Amino acid sequence: MKTAVFPGSFDPITLGHFDIVERAVPLFDKIIIAIGQNSQKKYMFSIEQRMDFIKKTFKNFPNVEVDSFEGLTIDYCRSKDVNFILRGLRNPADFEFEKAIAQTNRTLTQDNKIETIFLLTSAGKSFISSSIVREIISFKGNYEILVPDAVRV
């Protein structure tokens, strides 16, 4: 079974994230959207809220699951016996950053290769990021056009 982990903080999930998952669904038997927890990071939404947003967003996608984890993504993948990491790319800077992580992961998993699969975000969504959405929310702006319905609180 081909399973991919789509890791991130998803604080909050955006239409860009949705675009990547929706387009990856036909490529994998299962996709696990895995919310990484970092004790050093300050989140706008709790882990429970983020999981709820994602579950509601993908309620009609039977092969999409939601989970959370702490630590390295590759360790989480090993614990789930997953050999694919799904990542979205918005721009060249994303590619350079993600390429370095993917190469590091391959080096760290020489015994059990974990491949990173990159999908380009659709052009109309490539400008959306969670940090931009959080900024708009903090200033009471119209963030609703950048997120799935479940996030519109």
Which residues make up each annotated binding site for ATP? 9-10, 17, 88-90, 98, 125-131
The residues with which 69 forms a beta bridge, in sequence order, are 36
User: CA 54 from chain center: how many Å?
Assistant: 10
Q: Which residues are documented as binding site for substrate?
A: 9, 41, 73, 87
Q: Which residues are documented as binding site?
A: 9-10, 17, 41, 73, 87-90, 98, 125-131
In 3D, which of 60, 50, 66 has the Cα closest to residue 22?
60
Which residue of the set 39, 41, 42, 140 is catalytic? 41
46 catalytic? Reply is: no
122 catalytic? Reply is: no
17 catalytic? Reply is: yes
The residue length of the chain stands at 153
90 catalytic? Reply is: yes
Which residue of the set 78, 80, 90, 106 is catalytic? 90
Burial 15-24 (b: 16+ CB within 10 A, else e): bbbbbbbeeb
Burial 116-130 (b: 16+ CB within 10 A, else e): beebebeeebbebbb
**Catalytic residue numbers, as ranges:** 17, 41, 90, 130
